[in-house]
Amino acid sequence: MKTISTDKAPGAIGPYSQAKVAGGFLFASGQGPIDPVTGELITEITAATEQACRNCQAILEAAGSDLTKVIKTTCFLKDMSDFAAFNEVYARYFTGKPARSCVAVKQNPKDFLCEIEFVAEV
């Protein structure tokens, strides 16, 4: 098993890693809309989704993989009324149409508008 860590995505805010590789698969922790350079939390849904997707992309690249190898995503939205705007951005990044679950959550540790976790081939 290998731990993946990159400064091109936000660091973990607790006792966990950005991602792990095991058995030819990458298991990534949820990526929210935090700019890894400034630490800024993005609070508009379109820009927030863009940042969350870029953070996913950075972790994949650090593991030697890419967005086309994503098998499954789990997406968390603060408000389901953001679903259409989220989907519009998400579809530009996850063009391979991985399997997906998308649910609304009441609360998360940083009050993210959206968060994406994923499993990918490496």
What CATH homologous superfamily does 2-121 map to?
A: RutC-like (3.30.1330.40)
Residue among 57, 33, 35 nearest 44 (CA): 33
Q: Are 59 and 4 in contact (CB under 8 A)?
A: yes
Residue ranges of the domains in the chain?
Answer: 2-121
Please state, in angstroms and rounded to a whole number, the distance separating the CA atoms of residues 73 and 119.
7
117, amino acid identity: E
- Report residue 70 as tokens: 């994503």
> What type of residue sits at position 17?
S
Is 56 an active-site residue? Answer: no
DSSP string, 14-57: SSS-SEEEETTEEEEEEE-SB-TTT-PBP-SHHHHHHHHHHHHH
Question: Which of 53, 56, 75, 102 is flagged as catalytic?
Answer: 102
Per-residue pLDDT tens, the chain, 122 aa: give them.
999 999 999 998 889 999 999 999 999 999 999 999 999 999 999 999 999 999 999 999 999 999 999 999 999 999 999 999 999 999 999 999 999 999 999 988 889 999 999 999 99
pTM confidence score: 0.96
Q: Does residue 30 contact residue 43 with C-beta atoms inside 8 Å? A: no
